[in-house]
Amino acid sequence: MKPDQIDFDDDIALLISTWIKLNKGLTETHKTMFQWFEGIHTKYNGIFGNLLVWLNMYIIYNDGWLCENPFAVKSTFEMATKSLFYNKKKVYNVATNCDGVILYQLLLQYLSSPSYDEFFEETLANTTKRINLGNPSDVLQSILVGTYLSAMIYSPEATFKYLEQENIIEGVFEKLFTLDSKMFHTYQRKLYLIGLGKSLFSEYIPEFVKNNIVKIISKMILMLWRINLAEKYKEKKIQIEQAKDEEEKLSKIKPKSEILDNYDEENIELELKEINEFFEKESNGLLGSANDINNPPFIIQHEKREEMEGDETKDHEDHLNDSWWDESEYDDEDAMENEKEEIEMEFDMLWCKVKEADENQFFKLAMSKLYHQNPEEMSSLINQLSEKQRDFMKKLLQTQRLIVNENGETKQITRRVIKALRRNK
121, 55, 343, 200 alpha-carbon torsion, rounded to 10°: -40
Neighbours of 97 (CB within 10 A): 24
pLDDT tier, 233 (very low <50, low <70, confident <90, very high otherwise): confident
Give the tens place of pLDDT for each residue, 2-56. 666 566 566 777 777 787 888 888 888 888 888 888 877 877 777 887 788 888 8
- Going by pLDDT thresholds of 50, 70 and 90, the confidence category of residue 286 is very low
- What's the one-letter identity of residue 379? S
Do residues 175 and 141 make contact, with C-beta atoms less than 8 angstroms apart? yes
**CB within 8 A of 130, min separation 6: which ones?**
84, 85, 97, 136, 144
Work out the pLDDT band at 232, boundaries 50, 70, 90: confident
Task: Name which residue leads in pLDDT, 308 or 214.
Answer: 214
Residue 314 pLDDT > 60: no
CB-count exposure of residue 396 (10 Å: 0-12, 13-18, 19+) = buried
Alpha helical stretches, state H, 132-168: 138-144, 146-154, 156-165
Using CA atoms, how far apart are residues 357 and 194, in angstroms rounded to an integer?
9
Which DSSP category does 302 fall into? P
* E strands in 213-362: 308-309
Q: Average pLDDT, whole number, for the chain?
A: 75
pLDDT band with cut points at 50, 70 and 90 for residue 423: low
Entry pTM? 0.74
pLDDT tens figures, 163-175: 999 999 999 999 9
Task: Indicate if the pLDDT at residue 292 is higher than 90.
Answer: no
What's the pLDDT tens digit per position in 109-129? 999 878 899 999 999 999 999
Using CB atoms within 10 Å of the CB of residue 43, give its burial: 0 to 12 exposed, 13 to 18 middle, 19+ buried: middle
What is the pLDDT at residue 43?
79
Per-residue pLDDT at 16 = 79
User: What is the arithmetic mean of pLDDT over 340-364?
Assistant: 86
pLDDT of 330 strictly over 80: no
pLDDT of residue 366: 84
Helix/strand/coil for 69: coil
**Distance in angstroms (rounded) separating the CA atoms of residues 159 and 148:** 8
Distance linking the first and last C-alpha atoms of the chain: 77
Q: Each residue of 360-409: pLDDT tens digit?
A: 888 888 888 888 888 888 888 888 888 877 887 787 777 766 666 666 66
